[in-house]
Copies of this chain bind each other. A is one copy, B any other.
């Protein structure tokens, strides 16, 4: 990251990036997937979630105070499988609750999964207060958008 200049938007006081679930999917994720080389989101950077501990994520974000947004690519647990590898060096993200359907004009456009970070290794991990929402398109793709808080 050294030498890299953080891109900042000059926003008046009180303006924040508070996207809706629908905007995250229909604008940000769809654009990222359709043109991942050229689409630059001013508030959402790329991150490798397997190489980042949750407490390092705020520092890697483009903006955010209590919530931070990222794009990431899914790492398959096994090359031939469909399960996602959600481990980091110090722990793992574990799904909690049921996935939520996200609609846009009554059309199902994506899903939102809630995950909690545990330190250590399953099944003996120690639950933390780090929470992440993972947004995926209602279609097959390796890209997902993440909101960490």
A38 at the B interface (CB under 8 A): no
A130 at the B interface (CB under 8 A): no
**Chain A contact residues (Cβ within 8 angstroms of B): what range?**
10 to 19
Q: How far is the CA of A99 from the CA of B45 in the complex (A)?
A: 40
A81 at the B interface (CB under 8 A): no
A28 at the B interface (CB under 8 A): yes
A12 at the B interface (CB under 8 A): yes
Determine whether the beta carbon of A24 is less than 8 Å from that of B28: no
List residues of chain A with CB under 8 Å of any chain B CB.
Answer: 11-20, 23-24, 27-28, 41-43
- 15 new A-B contacts at CB < 8 Å, known A14-B19, A14-B43: A11-B15, A12-B41, A13-B19, A13-B23, A13-B28, A14-B17, A14-B18, A14-B23, A14-B24, A14-B27, A15-B18, A16-B16, A16-B17, A16-B18, A18-B18
